[in-house]
Structure formats: C-alpha cells, structure tokens
C-alpha cells in the first residue's frame, strides 16, 4: 500500500467529524426553522405572512448559492467563529450553514403533509399549540424527517469532500492530494470505495429506521 492505513483512518475520522457535527447543527437548527415555517404559513396556527416570507427568503438565498461559492464567501465569518479558515473545524461552519436550509425545506415538506385532521383532533382534545407541535406534528412527520436526515447526510458527505479540496482535511483532501496531484490511483480508488460504503451505510440505516417506524 502506497499510503499507511493510519492516514486513511485519520481522513475517515475527519470526514465523520465534519459530516456528524454539521449534520447535527443542521438538524438542531433546521427542525425549529421548519416548524416556524409551517406554523407561520397561511392557515397555520401562528399565521404571520411577514415572518414566513422573511424566513423563506433567507432560506432560499442560502440554498441558491453553490456550496463552493458559499464556502469562500463565508471565510470572514468562519474566521470569526472557528478562529481559522483552514482545517476540519473551519469546514464545519460553511457545511452547517449550507446544510441547515436544505434540511429545513425537506423537514417543512414532511411537516406540511401531516393530516390536518390530526391537528384538529388534537385541538379538540384540549392540546395547546406547543403540545400539537410536540405530540402531533413532529412524531407524525418523523419518517419524512428521517428521510431528510439521510439525504442531508449524504449531501454533506459529498460536500465535505469538496471542502477537502480547500484544505479542510478528510477523505476528499486525501483523494485530491494523493490521488489527483500525485497520480496515485490506488488512493483515489480506496477513497471512492470508502465513500461508497459510507453513503450506503447512511442510506440503508435511514431506510431501515423509516421502515421500522412505518410498520410498528
């Protein structure tokens, strides 16, 4: 092997940290955003066209910007937050910022598909707004939200490889530096294989969890 196994482990761990941390941030921020989008939408129980539109525009703005551009554009902000613009932790900032609106939109769709009859039933039984979000909207939309998490994680894996190209570390970094710049095809192939396995594992776990949720 042209490269020690430790280098692969290190790159793999870096990728996991980037994807895991930015994915967690996207989830924790994206869910409230999606809930806010739903309840402020016309017909929602906290109806507010202004908040809804403002939120929608901000989300669309971030979603319209390609990740590679966003990453560069955010460098000053990244320095402010992570203290540096290079490395794994610096990559997490743009990754999280690009994944959050992406995930929020997917979660919003799942929440919107919850049967209005269930919300009516909850109101009729004396649920307050927060009870409805907690006991009806979120649990009923869970299969769709898990699907969104899966898609977001897969997207993050590929975006993190892109971040590797600008010196963020991780599997993408390895593939570019050894596979591309040093013409080491073996490294390239191994990295591709690891990425395929990683994406398959994420996708498969998500699918199995959704199937379990739906067949209880």
**Contact between 126 and other proteins per CB under 8 A:** yes
The backbone region for 94, taken as left when phi is positive above 0, alpha when psi lies in -120 to 50, beta otherwise, is alpha
Q: Which is nearer to other proteins, 115 or 207 (CB)?
A: 115
φ/ψ of 137, rounded to 5, equals: -60, -55
Q: Minimum distance from CB of 124 to other proteins (Å)?
A: 4
Q: Minimum distance from CB of 79 to other proteins (Å)?
A: 43
> What x/- string results for residues 177 through 216 when contact with other proteins is judged by CB under 8 A?
------------------------------------x--x
**Contact between 112 and other proteins per CB under 8 A:** no
Q: Minimum distance from CB of 212 to other proteins (Å)?
A: 11
Q: Which is nearer to other proteins, 132 or 163 (CB)?
A: 132
Q: Minimum distance from CB of 216 to other proteins (Å)?
A: 4
The site for other proteins (CB under 8 A) is made up of: 115, 117-118, 120-128, 131, 135-136, 139-140, 142, 213, 216
């Amino acid at each position: 092997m042209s490269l020690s196994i430790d280098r692969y482990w290190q790159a793999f761990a870096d990728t996991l940290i980037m994807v895991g941390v930015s994915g967690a941030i996207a989830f924790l921020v994206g869910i409230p955003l999606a809930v806010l989008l739903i309840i402020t939408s016309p017909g929602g129980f906290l109806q507010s066209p202004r908040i809804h539109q403002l939120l929608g525009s901000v989300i669309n703005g971030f979603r319209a910007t390609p990740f590679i551009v966003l990453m560069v554009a955010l460098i000053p902000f990244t320095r402010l937050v992570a203290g540096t613009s290079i490395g794994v932790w610096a990559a997490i900032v743009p990754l999280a910022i690009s994944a959050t609106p992406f995930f929020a939109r997917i979660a919003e769709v799942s929440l919107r598909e919850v049967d209005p009859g269930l919300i009516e039933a909850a109101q009729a039984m004396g649920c307050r707004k927060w009870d409805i979000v907690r006991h009806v909207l979120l649990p009923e939309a869970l299969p769709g939200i898990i699907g969104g998490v899966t898609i977001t994680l897969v997207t993050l894996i590929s975006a993190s490889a892109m971040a590797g190209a600008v010196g963020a570390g991780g599997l993408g970094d390895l593939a570019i530096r050894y596979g591309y710049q040093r013409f080491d095809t073996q490294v390239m192939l191994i990295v591709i294989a690891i990425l395929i396995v990683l994406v398959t594992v994420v996708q498969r776990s998500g699918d199995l969890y959704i199937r379990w949720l739906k067949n209880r």
